[in-house]
Amino acid sequence: MKSYKTELILFYVLCFISILPILFTRYYVTLDGSSHIYNANLIKSLVFQSDLETMKLFQINSIAVPNWMGHFIMAFLRIFLPAFLSEKILLLLYFILTPLFFRKFILLFNPSGKIFTYFIFLFTHNVLLYLGFFNMMLGIMFLFISIFYYHKYCQIFNLKRFIILTLLLLIVYFSHIMIFAITVCFLAILSFYISDIHSNNTLRKKILNRLMLLFLSALPSLILAFKYFILVDSIDEGEPQLPFVKLLTEFINVQPLLTLSGNNPWKIYTNILFILFTIIIISRIIVLVKKVIMAKGSNLRPKFKIPSFKVVCLLTSFVFLILYFILPNGMMISIRLLLLFYLFFVMWIALNEYPKWIHVLTFT
């Protein structure tokens, strides 16, 4: 109990440290941050104040654009607060809730993985945030909130869960459409991971119930997404595919963490992190090979079963990595995919079980 409290205090201390840059600056400097505040001021004038002068020049888009969430949150806060505080509150929500719900979700599957959830703190401060991609960051935050809520509470279908899940998915949609698609796909996979089952019939029934709940909850957002793609030409050819050497270099450098500077003095730290990740995955491969050899030696026929959830996370991360190496770089998709790869890879790390001595050293 004492070690658990020590570890929990450490988690909250790290959470507090991560928000210090926001607390001790008036404006949190990002590339697009000022434009987000400007848009929030316009929305406040149009929606909450009905300012006639603003209405002569601007109007709210009649199409439900999946990039509104951050603007509308700040516009609402601007009714009561100055611009810099509205931005601070938005960023504080992101920096606090993202690691909190990442941790909550991991502990549903692996209660012993507490210390490994700390990796998420590194990736909350990422290059996309400093470019000002607030809505994608909010989408990632609500991704973790949605998968936590879905797995913990949506084992059966009822009206309350349907309403909450529908609202969560709408929020993800209005944050970032790519993260919305990932969220729905991930929740569909998560539907197959059910505890407390007594028979195959019970398992099938629960899976179908969860999939039905997910489909009905996602339907309003799916309709909005379909309408958006029909009415808006949002495909940006942008840059061609980046050179393979550049992609490989950014992968090894863990480029999402090189926020305001990509200079050599900082790369040594991300290179060390990459080496650590490489050691972890090699060690897990060795453990897996040993298990396969032992299973063959026992002459037991392996029965088919769905992969463990940690395997799903690892496979998902490598899907993002493959796309990172093959897709053109329209709308800066390469760095987005690389960030998603590392997020799901860190999720896989935290879901693994490790020797007891590691937990002793880390107070868990």
pLDDT digits (tens, 9 = 90+) for 86-119: 999 999 999 999 999 999 999 999 998 899 999 9
pLDDT of residue 54 exceeding 90, the answer is: no
Q: Percent of the chain at pLDDT above 90?
A: 58
Looking at 15-29, 48-62, 265-279, 311-325, which range is the least confident one? 48-62
- What whole-number distance in Å separates Cα of residue 19 and Cα of residue 89? 11
Please, what is the Cα angle at 88 between 86 and 90, to 5 degrees? Answer: 70
First to last CA, the chain: 10
Specify which residues 329 forms β-bridges with.
239
- What whole-number distance in Å separates Cα of residue 64 and Cα of residue 17? 37
Distances 204 to 154, 197, 305 between C-alpha atoms, Å: 15, 10, 14
Specify which residues 239 forms β-bridges with.
329
pLDDT of residue 50 exceeding 60, the answer is: yes
When pLDDT is cut at 50, 70 and 90, the band that residue 304 belongs to is very low
CA within 13 Å, CB half, 49 = 16
Question: Which one has a higher pLDDT value, 280 or 291?
Answer: 280
* H runs (alpha helix) in the chain: 2-23, 33-43, 52-57, 69-77, 83-109, 119-124, 127-130, 134-153, 159-175, 177-190, 200-231, 244-252, 264-297, 309-326, 333-351, 356-361
pLDDT digits (tens, 9 = 90+) for 312-343: 999 999 999 999 999 998 889 999 999 999 99
The letter for the amino acid at 199 is S
pTM to 2 decimals?
A: 0.91
From the number of C-beta atoms within 10 Å of its C-beta (0-12, 13-18, 19+), residue 19 rates as middle
- What does the pLDDT read at residue 337? 97
- What whole-number distance in Å separates Cα of residue 41 and Cα of residue 75? 6
pLDDT digits (tens, 9 = 90+) for 257-272: 997 766 667 889 999 9
Residue 246 and residue 255 in contact, taking contact as beta carbons nearer than 8 Å: no
* Structural tokens at position 161: 């869960």
pLDDT of residue 283 exceeding 60, the answer is: yes
- What does the pLDDT read at residue 296? 65
Cα Rg of the chain, angstroms: 22
Residue range 50-75: average pLDDT?
86
pLDDT digits (tens, 9 = 90+) for 109-145: 999 889 999 999 999 999 999 999 999 999 999 999 9
Distances 92 to 17, 19, 23, 135, 336 between C-alpha atoms, Å: 12, 7, 9, 14, 22
- CA-CA-CA-CA torsion sign (247, 248, 251, 257): negative
When pLDDT is cut at 50, 70 and 90, the band that residue 251 belongs to is very high
Give the mean pLDDT of the chain. 88
- What whole-number distance in Å separates Cα of residue 123 and Cα of residue 109? 21
